[in-house]
Amino acid sequence: MSEDHEPPPESKLTRSKERWAREGKFLTGKITRPEDERLPPGQHLTRDWPVLDLGFLPNISRERWRLDVYGAVENPLFWDFAQLLAQKQSQFVSDIHCVTTWSRYDNQWEGLSTSDLLAACRPRDEARFVMLHSSDGYTTNLAFEDFAADTALLAHSWSGKPLEAEHGGPVRLVVPHLYFWKSAKWLKAIEFLGDDAPGYWEVRGYHNRGDPWSEQRYSDD
């Protein structure tokens, strides 16, 4: 089991984001369907790729990187980067939607699809939720089905190049159908759980699921 690091002290941005959750900032109240619209309600398109995190940049080489897969699984994994690369590789192109309202189209990812990871670790029936643990102390939770989504992957490359450290390299999760805070950077552990538990933003006013098409930005309570 991997040791848990405390997240860094709350930055100005973290405190602003907590305030936005309390105020319901950016909410449009509109619902759009992905079949009709490519840009979810309240989002705007950006061509650059903003960096968003807790302000602490873990410095992990591919050599030192490890992935711990544990909890309600038949076959716990502890992989190094070479073992990740030895698995079947997938390439997906997907859009990013950050809850702070920027979206970025056509990101080319390469890595291990979550469905292939699931085939390797074989979750037990009671595994209904997934907690992602990151090297900066960040956590985020997903329902099993959201983790297992078709185009979700553990990405090590973007646009054909190694994923940059500031964007979560060596390896980050990408769950394209949810707001981007669910896509944990600097992924170090995946924990399968019978009961749901909130992660870093989910305890700070952000929605438990985070579907951008129905603007699940903030929690209701």
CB of 51 to ligand MTE, least distance (A): 4
Considering only residues 23-62, where is the footprint of Mo ion by CB under 5 A?
A: 52
Asked if 133 and 4 touch (Cβ cutoff 8 Å), the reply is yes
CB distance 193 to 127 below 8 Å: yes
Q: Do residues 136 and 187 touch, judged by C-beta distance below 8 A? A: no
As beta bridge partners, residue 134 has 187
Whichever of 53 and 68 has its CB closer to Mo ion, that residue is: 53
Return the residue of 181, 186, 192, 200 that touches Mo ion, per CB under 5 A.
Answer: 181
Select the span of 42-50, 130-138, 162-170, 181-189 touching Mo ion (CB under 5 A).
Answer: 181-189
**Residue 95, CA distances (Å) to 101, 109, 175, 214 in order:** 13, 11, 10, 16
Mask of contacts with Mo ion, 70-99, x by CB under 5 A? ----------------------------xx
Residues 6+ apart with CB under 8 A from 69: 76, 77, 78, 79, 117, 121, 189, 190, 192
The minimum distance between CB 49 and ligand MTE, in angstroms, equals 6
* Site residues (vs ligand MTE, CB under 6 A): 49-54, 98, 134, 136, 138, 167-168, 180-181, 183-186
Using CB under 5 A, which residues numbered 94 to 113 contact Mo ion?
98-99
